[in-house]
Structure 1
Amino acid sequence: MAHTEASVPTKKRILQTCVRLFLMQGYQKTTMLQILEGSQVSNSSFQNIFRAKDGVLAELVDFMFAYQFGTARDTTSNLPPVYVYAAETAIQLTLTELNENLREIYTVSYTKPLILDSIVRQTAQELQTIFSPYLPGLTYTDFYHLDIGTSGVMRSYMLHPCDEDFPLEKKLRDFLTINLRAYNVPPAEVEKAIAFVENLDIRKVARQVMEKLLRDLQMRYDFTLPEEPHLQSAK
């Protein structure tokens, strides 16, 4: 039996509408009026669940970051943990060159204090696992503080699109050099991790990740995109 809009739980209707609109037209262009009309909820009902549009973004980003780490592990199985970090961050940066709406979702998330705190708390655990051999004695809190800085580097590189003077390969090399050095990875290992990423077909990997991510988001939140979002060419 088909579900009517009214039979779908309110939170799910809001998520369906917001995630679909964020992916189709971008976070900033999605208005509260569109959200309320699309999900058929009142403003008070929306605020009781999410308080603001940022609340929906936070839930979406939590899923996306967990998804990325899983993908990176698949790409770098049985390889040094530093390679996991290099692959995960390279994929994330490349995704933002393929789709402007994904770029906006990521960069806005790094700008919102509460969402950034959630991102950093989640990634700090991964960073401690990966980099504690290079920074013995540092606690989870120490890695949390370090990640405040390295996530700022990530946001800055995301905001600056690639062009002829700043191709993707240079962006990834510069980013990885800065952040791996921040975690005290020896120069020789930094170069090996960068070489690993450079030997990947990172554009192909990122496209595959994006296509699967979009499919999984549609399944998770039970909506259908009218057409595949435009894939840009990562320069």
Structure 2
Amino acid sequence: MPGHGLQARGIAREQKMIYAGMTLFLEQGYERTTTAQIARKAGMSPASFFAAFENKEALLLRLTQIMFRSQFSRAEKMLPADQSPLLLYAMETGLQLHIAECSEPLRDLYVTAYSLPSTSDFINRSMTPRLRQIFSRWMKRADDSELFELELASAGVTRSYMSVPCDMYFTMERKIRRYLSCCFRLYCVPEKEYAPYVERVLQTDLHQVAENIVAETVQNAAAAFAATMGAAADEN
């Protein structure tokens, strides 16, 4: 079926661009990477990029969706099913800070994702329903509009903390304590209730988990590319 073959080739092209874009973003950062470089890395002509994605931001949106699914899934697997949603929130957001600290290109990628219109909108709208599940006990009267507005605030805090590298004074422990305190207070959670979960996060080796997520995301992208290439070859 010719139509199905064209679709398979289109998916393969998209996967090639995703894998090439991810590789270059992790090597040299988002801003320094051009669509022409991504296309060449994928073994295609510079103009072919736009057959897969509207622009570079559209590719970053797809990568943001992939990364967020990975970090949320990993945080959930680390905890029992009946665990407090506050601990899950603390683990998920603490994990993001660790991922951004893995390398400067990753920091650039995450800060950019929290800054650009399409990617930041995806993050904010994806988080809003989760906020109701997590914080409804302390914010019973908040509607979805108010939770979205608060998510805009907490996303700004996240971006700010990600953008500043840790050093001998601003350690990861200090960063996570300050960051989680800001977020929990924003959602009206008393310190005596969130403090134990902050300590639990600090006792967990999230740096290793963060490195594993990045490695697995790259491996999965490579595997998806290989699978779609094989499917396209079978069609021919």
Distance 1:145 1:89 in 2: 18
Contact 1:69 1:88 in 2 (8 A): yes
Question: Given the alignment, which residue of 71, 86, 98 partners 1:68?
Answer: 71
Shift of 1:20: 2.0
Contact 2:22 2:218 in 1 (8 A): no
Question: Relative to structure 2, which stretch is displaced further, 194-203 or 156-165?
Answer: 194-203
Within a 5 Å distance, the mapping from 1:16-165 to structure 2 comes to 16-39=19-42, 40-41=44-45, 43=47, 45-77=48-80, 78-165=82-169
Identity of aligned residues (%): 31
Question: Partners in 2 of 1:153 and 1:182 — Cα distance?
Answer: 10
Instruction: Return the alpha-carbon distance in structure 2 between the equivalents of residues 81 and 170 of structure 1.
Output: 22
How much does 1:42 deviate? 5.0
In structure 2, what residue type is equivalent to 1:76?
Answer: L
CA drift of 1:153 comes to 0.4
Alpha-carbon distance between aligned partners in 2 of 1:125 and 1:220, rounded to the nearest angstrom:
29
TM-aligned CA deviation for residue 99 of structure 1: 1.9
Decide whether the 8 Å contact of 2:90 with 2:201 is kept in 1.
yes
Asked if the contact 1:124–1:143 (Cα under 8 Å) also holds between the matched residues in 2, the reply is: yes
TM-score, normalised to structure 1, is 0.84
* Alignment CA distance shift 1:7-1:221 (3 Å): closer
Query: For each residue in 1:177-217, what CA deviation from the matched residue of structure 2 results, as whole angstroms up to 9, or x when unmatched?
Result: 00011011111112111111122123233333333333233
The alignment's TM-score, normalised by the length of structure 2, stands at: 0.84
Report how far residue 138 of structure 1 moved: 1.7
Q: How big is the shift at 1:7?
A: 5.3
Residues matched between the structures, number: 217
Kept after mapping to 2: 8 A contact 1:157/1:171: yes
Distance 1:201 1:37 in 2: 38
Equivalents in 1 of 2:38, 2:102: separation in Å?
26
> 8 Å contact 1:16–1:222 — kept in the other structure?
no
Q: What SS class does the counterpart of residue 98 from structure 1 fall into?
A: coil
- Structure 1 unaligned segments of length 5 or more: list them: 1-5, 224-235
Contact 2:36 2:46 in 1 (8 A): no
From the superposition, tell whether residues 209 and 37 of structure 1 become closer, same or farther in structure 2 (CA, over 3 Å): closer
The one-letter code sitting in structure 1 at the alignment partner of 2:156 is G
Do 2:35 and 2:49's aligned partners in 1 also have CA atoms closer than 8 Å? no
User: Shift of the alpha carbon at 1:167?
Assistant: 0.5
Give, as a single letter, the amino acid of the residue that structure 1 aligns with 2:39.
Answer: L
Q: Partner of 1:79: helix, strand, or coil?
A: coil
1:167 maps to 2:166: no
RCO (CA 8 Å, sep 6+): is it higher in 1 or 2? 2
Q: Is the 8 A contact 1:107 1:155 kept in 2?
A: yes
**Structure 1 counterpart of 2:196, one-letter code:** K
1:50-108 Cα distance to aligned partner (Å, 9 max, x none): 22100100001011111111111111223100000100111110111112222111101
Mapped partners of 2:25, 2:70: distance in 1: 18
Secondary structure of 2:114's counterpart equals: helix
- Measure the CA separation in 1 of the matches of 2:216 and 2:46: 33
- What residue ranges of structure 2 are gaps of 5+ in the alignment? 1-7, 228-236
**Cα distance in 1, alignment partners of residues 41 and 28 from structure 2:** 14
